[in-house]
């Protein structure tokens, strides 16, 4: 490990960034250095601009990947190299405003029914029932399921925050069936080695395949299950502040996106076409 990489890793650790964030940021900076064949200490605003153009025009990366690269470089030059003047020249793109993918309740049922593995079905049901992120559901421990208080403890979610979410009685029944069959000890959903939680890619592949097997036209992911959790709660009248707490959002404005995808909210608004009292008959069409 180079001295610069070690310094950046240490700077991320003292700021209590997650291991996943550290791995992502260090990897993005390594890609930047590899592109020019030089240490980032010898590079500046012009090289950063060239690299961003390369990512957009040649590699055509996703917005999330581009954003990760920008955040990693901003951290490197601001905190590790102490060059704020470089950071000021790193453009930050406007995030595309896209509505989340939301499954209907019937589609969620079809998705669950298409999963053959008891472990994966229990895991995805947990993600939906509690509105968990992928990293949160994979890192659940057996001791996090509190059947006495009917809550699930989510350890160190986004922004390194713990929180509690509801434990559905239906989910508890499923988890008990799963526990009797698999007998997990530490991790609720362990990998084959039992020493580590199930890998993210395994879960995502299983979720996508289940969506295909169920004949869904929407892309099924753990994130879409989380979006569906929030939207379904909103449609049943749950206060948005409660949903904000359950999701672990720092700001309610993040949660408010679900007001734009709630079918109940959309259907409750009458179209102005109805106010025209326009007669529809076969002669007109």
> Is 32 part of a structural domain of the chain?
yes
Tokens standing for residue 19: 């291991």
Q: Is residue 143 one of the residues assigned to a domain?
A: yes
* Same structural domain, 115 and 203: yes
179 and 83 belong to one structural domain: no
Of 87, 120, 153, the residue at which a domain comes to its end is: 87
Q: Is residue 120 a contact partner of residue 208, using CB atoms and an 8 Å limit? A: no
Which residue from 15, 135, 20, 160 is spatially nearest to 76, judged by alpha carbons? 15
- CATH number of the domain where residue 199 is located: 1.10.443.10
> Which uninterrupted H or E stretch holds 69?
helix 63-75
- Pair 127, 247 in one domain: yes
Q: Are 147 and 228 contained in the same domain?
A: yes
- Expressed as residue numbers, the domain containing 81 is 3-87
Cα 252 to Cα 10, 24, 111, 222, 244: the distances in Å are 32, 27, 29, 21, 6
Do 251 and 122 fall within a single domain? yes
Task: Give the predicted TM-score (pTM) of the model.
Answer: 0.71
Whether 273 is in a domain gets the answer no
Q: Report the pLDDT value the prediction gives residue 285, as an integer from 0 to 100.
A: 63
Place 100 in a pLDDT band, splitting at 50, 70 and 90.
Answer: confident
3-class secondary structure, 218? coil
72 lies in the same domain as 125: no
Instruction: With cut-offs at 50, 70 and 90, classify the pLDDT of residue 93.
Output: low
Residue 215 lies in a domain: yes
Do 11 and 137 belong together in one domain? no
Same domain, 184 and 258: yes
41-61 average pLDDT score? 90
Q: What is the pLDDT of residue 16?
A: 83
Residue 138 CB burial class (10 angstroms; 0-12, 13-18, ≥19): buried
Work out the mean pLDDT of the chain and round it to a whole number.
87
Query: Do the domain assignments include residue 283?
Result: no
Could you tell me if 115 and 42 lie in one domain?
Answer: no
125 close to 224: Cβ distance less than 8 angstroms: no
241 in the same domain as 124: yes
* DSSP element (H, E) containing 200: helix 200-213
Is residue 150 predicted with pLDDT exceeding 90?
Answer: yes
Q: Which CATH number goes with the domain that contains 70?
A: 1.10.150.130
Q: Rounded to 5 degrees, what angle do the CA atoms 120, 124, 130 make?
A: 145
Give me the pLDDT at residue 94, please. 65
Asked whether residue 153 falls in the same domain as residue 26, the answer is: no
CB burial string 244-283: b at 16+ within 10 A, e below: bebbbbeeeeebeebeebbeeeeeeeeeeeeeeeeeeeee
Q: Is residue 275 part of a domain?
A: no
Does 66 reside within a domain?
A: yes
Helix boundaries (H) for 37-62: 45-53
Residues 157-195 as b or e (16 or more Cβ within 10 Å = b): bbeeeebebebbeebeebbeebeeeeebeebbbbeeeee
Q: What pLDDT was estimated at residue 173?
A: 94
What is the phi/psi pair of residue 163, to 5°?
A: -160, 165
Say how many domains are in the chain.
2
Q: pLDDT class for 142, splitting at 50, 70, 90?
A: very high
Task: Examine the domain organization and report whether 133 and 236 are in the same domain.
Answer: yes
**For the chain, how far is it from start to end, CA to CA, in angstroms?**
72
Q: Which of 27, 60, 87 is where one domain is finished?
A: 87
Owner of token pair 């020019």: 36
């Amino acid at each position: 490990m180079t001295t610069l990489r070690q310094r950046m890793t240490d700077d991320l650790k003292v700021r209590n960034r997650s291991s996943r964030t550290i791995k992502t940021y260090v990897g993005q900076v390594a890609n930047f250095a590899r592109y020019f064949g030089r240490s980032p200490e010898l590079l500046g605003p012009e090289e950063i601009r060239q690299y961003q153009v390369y990512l957009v025009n040649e590699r055509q990366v996703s917005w999330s990947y581009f954003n990760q690269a920008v955040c990693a470089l901003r951290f490197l030059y601001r905190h590790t190299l102490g060059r704020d003047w470089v950071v000021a020249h790193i453009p930050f793109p406007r995030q595309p405003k896209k509505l989340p993918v939301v499954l209907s309740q019937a589609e969620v049922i079809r998705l669950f029914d298409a999963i053959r593995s008891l472990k994966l079905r229990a895991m995805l049901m947990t993600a939906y029932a509690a509105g968990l992120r992928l990293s949160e559901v994979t890192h659940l421990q057996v001791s996090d399921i509190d059947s006495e208080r009917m809550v699930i403890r989510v350890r160190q979610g986004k922004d390194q925050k713990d929180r509690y979410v509801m434990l559905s009685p239906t989910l508890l029944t499923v988890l008990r069936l799963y526990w009797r069959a698999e007998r997990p000890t530490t991790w609720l959903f362990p990998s084959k080695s039992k020493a580590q939680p199930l890998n993210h890619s395994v879960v995502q592949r299983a979720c996508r395949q289940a969506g295909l097997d169920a004949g869904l036209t929407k892309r099924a992911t753990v994130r879409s299950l989380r979006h569906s959790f929030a939207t379904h709660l909103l449609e049943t009248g749950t206060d948005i502040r409660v949903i904000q707490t359950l999701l672990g959002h720092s700001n309610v404005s993040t949660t408010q996106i679900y007001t734009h995808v709630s079918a109940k909210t959309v259907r409750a608004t009458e179209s102005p076409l109805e106010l025209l009292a326009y007669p529809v008959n076969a002669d007109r069409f």
